[in-house]
């Protein structure tokens, strides 16, 4: 669906979980400039899980893996339990995150890669095969493999 030349987004309210202040600030700035609503930017696993469990209406979680008080994997588990998609943004991807996240964007990244990764997750969640994937981004299927997904849910 398009609204004034732009498609209507399904992933609007985003939670940013990042403990590096400059990265968190830059990420929030890019997202708000692109008309996303950043529900919160937090630097602790406990704060993120509280927001997720509290029904804050979060549409997508963007989480670093290595956080000061634990692992972003714990944040992803909480989001996964509520069927909230997760985009890991990290420089060191752990093994096995494919089962918990919709995608992974490697640091460092630019604004175009970040927004492209979110668009790809939204397309995949809508049952569409996304176009060209951004550099440094891996899209996970519901079965845990990497790559884009066809409308029937199968990996392309």
- Please compute the mean of the pLDDT values over residues 112-124 and round it to a whole number: 97
Query: Does the pLDDT at position 153 exceed 60?
Result: no
| Residue spans of beta strands (DSSP E) within the chain | 2-3, 6-7, 13-17, 37-42, 60-63, 66-67, 70-71, 86-90, 103-106, 137-139
Query: Does the pLDDT at position 79 exceed 70?
Result: yes
Instruction: Report the predicted TM-score, pTM, of the whole model to 2 decimal places.
Output: 0.86
Q: What is the pLDDT of residues 8-57, one digit of tens each?
A: 788 999 999 999 999 999 999 999 999 999 999 999 999 999 999 998 89
Average pLDDT, the chain: 88
Q: Which pLDDT score is estimated for 93?
A: 84
Domains (ranges, CATH) in the chain? 2-139 (3.40.50.2300)
Q: Which pLDDT score is estimated for 75?
A: 97
- Tokens linked to 97: 């995150």
Q: What is the pLDDT of residues 20-30, one digit of tens each?
A: 999 999 999 99
Residues 61, 75 contacting (CB under 8 angstroms): yes
**Residue 63 pLDDT grade (very low, low, confident, very high; cuts 50, 70, 90):** very high
- Please compute the mean of the pLDDT values over residues 129-154 and round it to a whole number: 68
Cα separation, 67 vs 58, whole angstroms: 20
* Sheet arrangement for strand 13-17: 37-42, 13-17, 60-63, 86-90, 103-106, 137-139
- Tokens linked to 141: 């299927």
**Residue 1 pLDDT grade (very low, low, confident, very high; cuts 50, 70, 90):** very low
- Please compute the mean of the pLDDT values over residues 136-147 and round it to a whole number: 70
Of 99, 89, 148, 94, nearest in space to 121 by CA: 148
Cα separation, 81 vs 83, whole angstroms: 6
């Amino acid at each position: 669906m398009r609204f004034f030349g732009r498609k209507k987004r399904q992933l609007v309210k985003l939670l940013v979980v990042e403990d590096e202040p400059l990265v968190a600030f830059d990420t929030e700035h890019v997202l708000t400039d692109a008309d996303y609503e950043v529900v919160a930017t937090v630097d602790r696993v406990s704060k993120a899980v509280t927001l997720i469990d509290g029904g804050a209406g979060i549409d997508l979680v963007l989480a670093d893996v290595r956080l000061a008080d634990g692992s972003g994997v714990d944040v992803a588990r909480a989001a996964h339990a509520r069927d909230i998609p997760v985009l890991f943004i990290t420089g060191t991807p752990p093994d096995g995150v494919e089962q918990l996240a919709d995608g992974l964007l490697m640091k460092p990244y630019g604004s175009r890669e970040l927004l492209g990764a979110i668009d790809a997750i939204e397309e995949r969640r809508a049952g569409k095969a996304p176009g060209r994937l951004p550099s440094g981004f891996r899209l996970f299927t519901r079965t845990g493999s990497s790559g884009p997904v066809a409308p029937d849910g199968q990996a392309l």
